[in-house]
């Protein structure tokens, strides 16, 4: 029987040969949309299939793993566009082992990409300037070219030296200055005219994009005013090649041409994002003249079409750490007049996204020591002040974002994002994305009737682990206390260990298992160990300016960040979320040439610390596994929460009566 695996959920199993993809998705509880009931009309069940070797699931997916295109697919003309690399799940039949991706637009519960920017002190200094000019009438016998006329008029009317017109401008210059007035607006970058439009135009735009390993977030800006006209985000389609960066590098190593597949996937997503932003902002793509791209080193290399495999093995050598400027066409981006600024990287595992965070938050401008933590699938850490800065990366994996946990999911409508546990009864209550009520408040059931409470997202996972620790359900070493099963129906036997049930309803049970706790411990241990090593390199023992960045970091309650030991102990008010600082830095670089120069200068002075080669890393990692930490002080945290007494965990071995499972 063939095996099918759906990404990004990882759900799947064996099916009878000839089963439709849609039916298989339903069998395994995969979130694949369909309105027409599998008649091939609505187009909502589109999936992507890429043949190749997927070592994570030991699957060698061949092209004949799915049935050939059906007549329904060939003639499909529904309301949803059918992309060339997509199949209709209701028509495609599973014939052999396959790995299939369910894109965001085919999911009922689409990911909420919650990324915003703070530009309160941004300075406008764009690379593009607009100039309205009127050309003298040409006469027969005059050998002066249109380029010569434009160059001369720029000096005459604006006192600006222009040397040439770009090829894109040359293609439209006659049309732009046609008509009786022979008047047009030109866009100038440096000493070159790069675009022209008939008549008077007072707006030109740019797009800044943070290419994350999980999500891609972009902002469309008016370069003449600095106003953000539109913001949008989408899941990174490379997830189907691997949830984490090393899995994607492994895919490239094992599949000839895999690097091109990853490049095509991310560039395709960028073009979709560009179209969405322009549609939202009521802008045409020829009005977009500047783009700034930031991302981790592997995303940086992949979008540029550079083989990322050297970044997957020591010594993790970058192809280049310098900022790169190319025409958008070089990256196959659908902005005919745009130039792309690919921001500089710092080192093999600290990329352009960290450079953008540094530009946004300014540790190199700070009189006091600052700790920046961009929490994601791979966490980047910066410690420094205006005198010196240190940077490192920690392989936290996707656990903080809810992935690879038994009940984890990404931040979608219906996902549990806040949790509280009663210290006496051990009963839980929670909030979900899309509803402001707690689960024990009147009206919650009605308010969430249209939502599918099907998992716990990253911020919810952090809170439930913290609450379990405060309630004594887990001890400082992360051991789930099975002895409490006699006290609470929510603590149930789970094989040789125990689980804590957060939510129970017909057809769904969301529980935190012992393995889930361990996954969080491993992730936070790697993060905290990296922080401690950077603090030692900086020669400081404490820092009172801690900033949490990234989509996940933006939604962590500072108390729980301290409680789990994600960051060192300090006054709670010293820990704050700064939103998508990488996106904010990208926008600043988009709006200001001087900001680009500042970022380039700042990253050249950053000292990279390779945690994997640090002699103290293992000891720091082990100590950081405990809640909040095995040895570090928790003086400030103890002023806001009552911490449990640290004790030796009692053995929970042996058979115990299985508890009746609770219902909320």
CB 241 within 8 A of CB 258: yes
Q: Which segment, 42-56, 75-89, 647-661, is predicted with the most confidence on average? A: 42-56
Q: Is the pLDDT of residue 204 over 70?
A: yes
Nearest to 122 by CA among 547, 585, 601: 585
pLDDT classification of 366: cutoffs 50, 70, 90: very high
Tokens linked to 609: 């610390």
Q: Which residue has the tokens 């992507």?
A: 48
Would 203 be classed as within a structural domain? no
Same domain, 410 and 488: yes
Residues 441 and 589 placed together within one structural domain of the fold: no
388-425: buried (b, 16+ CB within 10 Å) or exposed (e) per residue?
bbbbbbbbbbbbbbbbbbbbbbbbbbbbbbbbbbeeee
Residue whose C-alpha is closest to residue 459's, from 67, 112, 148, 107: 112
The answer to whether 35 and 55 are in contact (CB under 8 A) is no
Query: Is residue 98, in this structure, part of any structural domain at all?
Result: yes
Rounded distance between C-alpha atoms, residue 552 and residue 520, angstroms: 14
C-alpha angle with apex 368: 362 to 370, nearest 5 degrees? Answer: 55
d(C-alpha 584, C-alpha 219), whole Å: 9
CATH label of the domain that carries residue 541: 3.30.420
Task: Find the range with the poorest average confidence among 171-180, 327-336, 402-411.
Answer: 402-411
Whole-angstrom Cα distance, residue 441 to residue 424?
A: 19
Give the span between the Cα atoms of 200 and 649, in whole angstroms: 75
> In this structure, are 633 and 607 located in the same domain?
yes
- Residue 110 phi, psi dihedral angles, 5° rounding: -75, 145
- Residue of 289, 296, 236 whose CA lies nearest to 113: 236
**Token pair of 361 as six digits:** 């938050």
Q: Which residue has the higher pLDDT, 575 or 78?
A: 575
pLDDT over 50 (residue 161): yes
Separation CA 468–CA 499 (nearest Å) = 11
pLDDT of residue 480: 95
- Across 175-179, 354-358, 490-494, least confident range: 175-179
Instruction: Using the Cα atoms of residue 143, residue 147, residue 150 and residue 156 in order, give the sign of their dihedral.
Output: negative
Sheet with 98-101: list strands edge to edge. Answer: 12-14, 3-7, 98-101, 46-49, 86-88
Is residue 590 situated within a structural domain? yes
The yes-or-no verdict on residue 651 having pLDDT over 50 is no
C-alpha distances (whole Å) from 593 to each of 9, 120, 148, 589, 598 are 41, 18, 28, 7, 9
Domain count, the chain: 4
Domain of residue 158, CATH code: 3.10.20
Same domain for 533 and 389 = yes
Q: Span 628-649, mean pLDDT?
A: 85
Judge if 96 and 184 occupy the same domain.
no
For residues 289 and 203, the answer to whether their CB atoms sit within 8 Å is no
Q: Which of 82-91, 586-595, 650-659 has the lowest mean pLDDT?
A: 650-659
Domain that holds residue 504: 399-517
Same domain, 524 and 635: yes
Pair (74, 39) in one structural domain: yes
Question: 159: which 2 tokens?
Answer: 């006192």
pLDDT digits (tens, 9 = 90+) for 233-284: 888 888 888 777 888 888 898 898 999 999 999 999 999 999 999 999 999 9
Q: Are residues 471 and 496 in the same domain?
A: yes
- Residue 100 to residues 89, 567, 622: CA-CA distances in angstroms? 10, 38, 38
pLDDT tens readout for residues 11-60? 899 999 999 999 999 898 888 887 766 778 778 889 999 899 998 888 99
Q: How far apart are CA 446 and CA 95, in angstroms?
A: 43
Based on the domain organization, do 532 and 393 belong to the same domain?
yes
Could you tell me which residue, 613 or 384, shows the higher pLDDT?
384
Strands 215-222 and 428-432: unpaired
In a domain, 304, yes or no: no
pLDDT at 229 > cutoff 60: yes
Give the closest residue to 497 by CA, choosing from 471, 523, 478.
478
- Please indicate, yes or no, if residue 28 is contained in any of the structural domains: yes
The pLDDT value given to residue 316: 82
Same domain, yes or no: 392 and 530: yes
Q: What percent of the chain has pLDDT over 90?
A: 58
Q: pTM score, two decimals?
A: 0.84
Does 471 map to a domain? yes
Q: CA–CA separation, 190 vs 289, rounded Å?
A: 13
Among residues 517, 532, 553, the one where a domain terminates is 517
Residue 81 has pLDDT above 90, yes or no: no
Cβ atoms of residues 466 and 563 within 8 Å: yes
Residue 587 belongs to some domain of the structure: yes
pLDDT at 36: 64
Confidence of residue 151 (pLDDT cuts 50, 70, 90): very high
Asked if residue 472 is part of any domain, the answer here is yes
Is the pLDDT at 111 greater than 60? The verdict is no
Q: Do residues 87 and 51 share a domain? A: yes
What is the C-alpha to C-alpha distance for residues 76 and 544, in angstroms, rounded to an integer?
A: 59
Place of tokens 């490239």: 252
- Domain at 18, CATH number: 3.10.20.30
Strands 93-94 and 52-54: unpaired
* Bond from prior residue into 628 cis (ω within 30 degrees of 0): yes
Based on the domain organization, do 67 and 87 belong to the same domain? yes
| Among candidate residues 466, 486, 517, the one where a domain is terminated | 517
pLDDT at 95 over 90: yes
Residue whose C-alpha is closest to residue 193's, from 220, 222, 173, 223: 173
> Final residue of a domain: which of 517, 533, 552?
517
The confidence score (pLDDT) of residue 654 equals 40
The strand pairing partners of 130, in sequence order, are: 187
pLDDT of 399 higher than 70: no
C-alpha–C-alpha distance, residues 106 and 234, integer Å: 12
Percent of the chain whose pLDDT exceeds 70: 93
């Amino acid at each position: 029987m063939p095996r099918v695996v759906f990404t990004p959920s990882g759900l799947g199993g064996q099916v009878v040969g000839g089963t439709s993809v849609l039916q298989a998705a339903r069998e395994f509880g995969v979130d694949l949309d369909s309105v027409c009931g599998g008649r091939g009309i609505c187009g909502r069940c589109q999936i992507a299939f890429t043949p190749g070797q997927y070592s994570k699931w030991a699957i060698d997916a061949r092209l004949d793993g799915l049935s050939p295109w059906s007549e329904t697919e060939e003639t499909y003309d529904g309301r949803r566009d059918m992309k060339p690399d997509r199949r209709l799940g209701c028509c495609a039949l599973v014939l052999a082992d396959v790995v299939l991706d369910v894109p965001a637009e085919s999911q009922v519960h689409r990911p909420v990409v919650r990324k915003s920017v703070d530009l309160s002190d941004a300075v406008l200094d764009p690379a593009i300037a607009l100039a309205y000019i009127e050309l003298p009438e040409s006469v027969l016998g005059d050998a002066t070219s249109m380029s010569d006329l434009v160059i001369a008029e720029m000096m005459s009317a604006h006192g600006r030296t222009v040397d040439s017109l770009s090829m894109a401008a040359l293609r439209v210059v006659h049309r732009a200055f046609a008509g009786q007035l022979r008047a047009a607006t030109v866009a100038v970058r440096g000493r070159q005219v790069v675009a022209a439009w008939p008549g008077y135009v007072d707006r030109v735009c740019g797009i800044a994009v943070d290419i994350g390993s999980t999500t891609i977030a972009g902002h469309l800006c008016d370069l003449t005013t600095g106003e953000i006209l539109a913001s949008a985000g989408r899941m990174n389609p490379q997830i189907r090649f691997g949830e984490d960066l090393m899995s994607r590098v492994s895919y490239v190593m094992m599949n000839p041409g895999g690097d091109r597949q990853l490049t095509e996937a991310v560039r395709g997503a960028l073009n979709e994002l560009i179209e969405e932003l322009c549609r939202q902002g009521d802008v045409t793509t020829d009005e977009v003249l500047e783009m700034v791209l930031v991302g981790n080193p592997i995303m940086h290399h992949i979008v540029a079409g550079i083989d990322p495999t050297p970044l997957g093995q020591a010594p993790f050598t970058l192809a280049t750490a310098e900022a790169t400027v190319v025409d958008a066409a070089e990256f196959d981006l659908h902005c005919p007049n745009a130039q792309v600024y690919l921001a500089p990287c710092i080192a093999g595992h600290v990329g352009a996204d960290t450079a953008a965070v540094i530009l946004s938050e300014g540790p190199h401008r700070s009189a006091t020591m600052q700790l920046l933590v961009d929490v994601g699938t791979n966490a980047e850490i910066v410690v420094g002040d205006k005198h010196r800065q240190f940077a490192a990366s920690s392989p936290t994996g996707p656990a903080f974002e809810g992935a690879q946990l038994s009940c984890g999911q990404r931040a979608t409508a219906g996902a549990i994002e806040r949790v509280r546990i009663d210290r006496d009864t051990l009963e839980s209550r929670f909030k979900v994305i899309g509803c402001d009520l707690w689960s024990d408040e009147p009206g919650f059931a009605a308010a969430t009737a249209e939502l599918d409470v099907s998992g716990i997202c990253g911020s919810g996972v952090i809170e439930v682990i913290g609450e379990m620790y405060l309630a004594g359900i887990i001890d400082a070493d992360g051991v789930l206390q099975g002895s409490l099963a006699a006290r609470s129906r929510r603590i149930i036997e789970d094989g040789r260990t125990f689980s804590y049930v957060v939510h129970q309803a017909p057809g769904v049970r969301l529980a935190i298992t012992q393995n889930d706790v361990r996954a969080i411990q491993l992730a936070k241990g790697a993060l905290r160990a990296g922080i401690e090593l950077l603090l030692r390199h900086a020669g400081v023992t404490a820092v009172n300016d801690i900033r949490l960045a990234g989509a996940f970091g933006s939604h962590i309650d500072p108390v729980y960040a301290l409680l789990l030991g994600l960051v060192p102990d300090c006054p709670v008010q010293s820990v704050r979320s700064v939103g998508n600082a990488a996106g904010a830095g990208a926008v600043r670089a988009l709006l200001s040439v001087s900001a680009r120069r500042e970022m380039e200068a700042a990253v050249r002075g950053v000292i990279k610390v390779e945690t994997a080669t640090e002699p103290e890393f293992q000891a720091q990692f082990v100590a950081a596994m405990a809640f909040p930490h095995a040895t570090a002080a928790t003086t400030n945290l103890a002023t806001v929460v009552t911490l449990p007494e640290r004790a030796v965990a009692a053995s929970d071995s042996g058979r115990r009566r299985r508890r009746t499972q609770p219902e909320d």
